[in-house]
Amino acid sequence: MIVSGAFAGKHYAVLGLARSGAATVRALVAAGARVTAWDSDAEKRAALTPSPLGGEGWGEGLEPRREGGLGETPAPHPTLSPEGRGLEVIDLDEFDLATVDSLVVSPGVPLNTHPLAAKAHETGVPIIGDIELFAQARADLPAHKVVGITGTNGKSTTTALIHHILDTAGIPARMGGNIGLPILAQEPLPEGGVYVLELSSYQIDLTQTLDCDVAVLLNVTPDHLDRYDGFDAYAASKARLFAMQSPAHVAIVDYEAEAELEVLADAPVGLNVRFIDGVPLPGEQSRWPSLQGPHNEQNAKAAVAVAEALGVDPETIERALETFTGLPHRMERIATLNGVAWINDSKATNPESAAPALAAFPRIHWILGGKVKGDDLDACLPHLGNVVRAYTIGEGGPRFAAVLRGQVPVAEVETLERAVKLAAQEAERGDVVLLSPAAASFDQFRDFEQRGAAFRAAVEELA
């Protein structure tokens, strides 16, 4: 894991004990900090409380107390050493935040509405995330570079592609951040390595000192507006990635985002700016099977620009583009049955991210719907000529059906399983059945990954 002497002797409150939160607690305690942590989920608290380090740094071997049985009030878990190092699990709503150096929150905690965030603001306690802790730990790591990637759509694919190019070039690299790999849980890289971080706007909001050697903004379209005071505030959150950079570092920017939103307005003078749209690609996109569609052209251009900034040669870049296998739930071809391709694009949780998938194939049976983030499908409308039929599911199904009716044939099927069965009956050889929901998953699924897995399982039942 990544630790730092900068954490030693400090007292942190940690709210949220899922993947990044649990990794944060372990790194802080291993570095000699005191941690007071909490999660409303009793299973997450119980999973963290038994020491994964055998007592080292978790109370000098003191036995942590377990949760009570069902129906009992959960007890706190003090495991502090006599020196005040280690972990205690206590409801932070009942804790004096004024005693801590920082409140570390998971990106999913809504800073605009959560009462603990308001309490921290009132007491003057800094609110940070694990990316900021990584930024503070960089001084203790072997000499390295950091690439930060943000944007509304395409972040994960671009992050994975950059990592793949570096790996192909023989450059030590680690992925972390919003891609689902907590950066503090990673092993430190040797000298000359590159940390490749996917960064959501929420993570950037919790970061103050991350100076990326190369920062990337892919695009900005309306999203997550329940967390921001309008679209401009959301765009400004993304733009802070550039404001944290040092002069002479590299900024790779979507031209439209700069032209319309001035995302470089607060960037330092002397930043080396390159616009994604003007990056030439080393070869034909048709030769890169996992990078099809206009959205992946932009992702590839951004990754190429990063690789060039890091000194990777064109031949290696082209070889990496050809061998990239893509990510699950992002334009993932999961099967071809009777000449019909089945594509899992469950990660497309808004119309802007679904639109490129619709543009990538000529005859599409489109499965869409879920917990919608707005009533329109405007970004998708230019590509409806490629849609043979739409199958709407979930909470937003009726609204999407109303938008599409009269433009394409629509079946309101409510569930993903029904959509798969009906599409299998109607699709012809050469067609594509595309799950690209243009909506979040939380009405029927835990997350987009579970939705994609359910799609795969339903398709496998057809075989």
Do 156 and 299 share a domain, yes or no? yes
For the question of residue 347 being annotated catalytic, the response is no
Element of type H or E holding 333: strand 332-337
What are the b/e assignments for 322-357, b being 16+ CB within 10 Å?
Answer: eebebbebbbbebeeeeebbbbbbbbbbbbbbbbbb
pLDDT at 67: 35
What CATH number should be reported for the domain holding residue 180? 3.40.1190.10
Of the residues 10, 11, 224, 371, only one is catalytic, namely 224
Element of type H or E holding 28: helix 19-30
Of the residues 44, 77, 145, 178, only one is catalytic, namely 178
- How far apart are the C-alpha atoms of 447 and 456, rounded to whole Å? 15
Q: Are 100 and 33 in contact (CB under 8 A)?
A: no
For the question of residue 178 being annotated catalytic, the response is yes
What CATH number should be reported for the domain holding residue 444? 3.90.190.20
Do 237 and 206 share a domain, yes or no? yes
Do 158 and 293 share a domain, yes or no? yes
Q: Which residues are paired to 104 by β-bridges? A: 14, 128
pLDDT at 80: 59
Do 318 and 197 share a domain, yes or no? yes
Region of residue 408 (phi > 0: left; psi between -120 and 50: alpha; otherwise: beta) = beta
pLDDT at 454: 98
- How far apart are the C-alpha atoms of 133 and 175, rounded to whole Å? 16
Chain centroid to Cα 415, Å, comes to 26
Contacts of 120 (CB under 8 A, 6+ apart): 97, 103, 126, 127
Do 198 and 294 share a domain, yes or no? yes
Chain centroid to Cα 276, Å, comes to 21
In 9-117, at which residue ranges do the beta strands (DSSP E only) sit?
11-15, 34-38, 77-80, 86-89, 102-105
Do 111 and 209 share a domain, yes or no? no
Q: In a structure prediction context, what are the per-residue pLDDT tens digits for the chain, which is 463 residues long?
A: 999 999 999 999 999 999 999 999 999 999 999 999 999 999 999 888 754 443 333 333 223 333 333 333 344 455 656 555 799 999 999 899 999 999 999 988 888 889 999 999 999 999 999 999 999 999 999 999 999 999 998 999 999 999 999 999 999 999 999 998 999 999 999 999 999 999 999 999 999 999 999 999 999 988 777 788 899 999 999 999 999 999 999 999 999 999 999 999 999 999 999 999 999 999 999 899 889 888 899 999 999 999 999 999 999 999 999 999 888 998 898 999 999 999 999 999 999 889 989 998 999 999 999 999 777 899 999 999 999 999 999 999 999 999 999 999 999 999 999 999 999 999 999 999 999 999 999 999 999 999 999 999 999 999 8
- How far apart are the C-alpha atoms of 409 and 406, rounded to whole Å? 7
Do 30 and 123 share a domain, yes or no? yes
- How far apart are the C-alpha atoms of 107 and 131, rounded to whole Å? 10
Which of 128, 159, 184 terminates a domain? The answer is 128
Q: Are 443 and 395 in contact (CB under 8 A)?
A: yes
Do 189 and 236 share a domain, yes or no? yes
Give the three-state DSSP class for 365. strand
Do 338 and 381 share a domain, yes or no? yes
Contacts of 195 (CB under 8 A, 6+ apart): 134, 144, 145, 146, 147, 173, 174, 176, 183, 186, 189
Do 98 and 142 share a domain, yes or no? no
Do 313 and 190 share a domain, yes or no? yes
Q: Which domain range does residue 15 map to?
A: 5-128
Do 305 and 344 share a domain, yes or no? no
The tokens describing 26, both together, are: 């372990």
For the question of residue 121 being annotated catalytic, the response is no
What CATH number should be reported for the domain holding residue 10? 3.40.50.720
Contacts of 387 (CB under 8 A, 6+ apart): 358, 364, 365, 366, 408
Q: How far is CA 167 from CA 175, 193, 325, in A?
A: 11, 10, 13
Of the residues 145, 155, 249, 329, only one is catalytic, namely 155
- How far apart are the C-alpha atoms of 152 and 137, rounded to whole Å? 27
Give me the number of domains the chain comprises.
3
Q: Is the dihedral of CA 159, 160, 161, 166 positive or negative?
A: positive
Which of 323, 342, 362 terminates a domain? The answer is 323
- How far apart are the C-alpha atoms of 393 and 341, rounded to whole Å? 20
Which of 323, 351, 382 terminates a domain? The answer is 323
Residue 456: phi and psi, rounded to 5, are: -60, -45
Closest CA to 372 of 355, 389, 392, 388: 392
How would DSSP label each residue in 137-181?
A: HGGGSPSEEEEEEE-SSSHHHHHHHHHHHHHHTT--EEEEETTTB
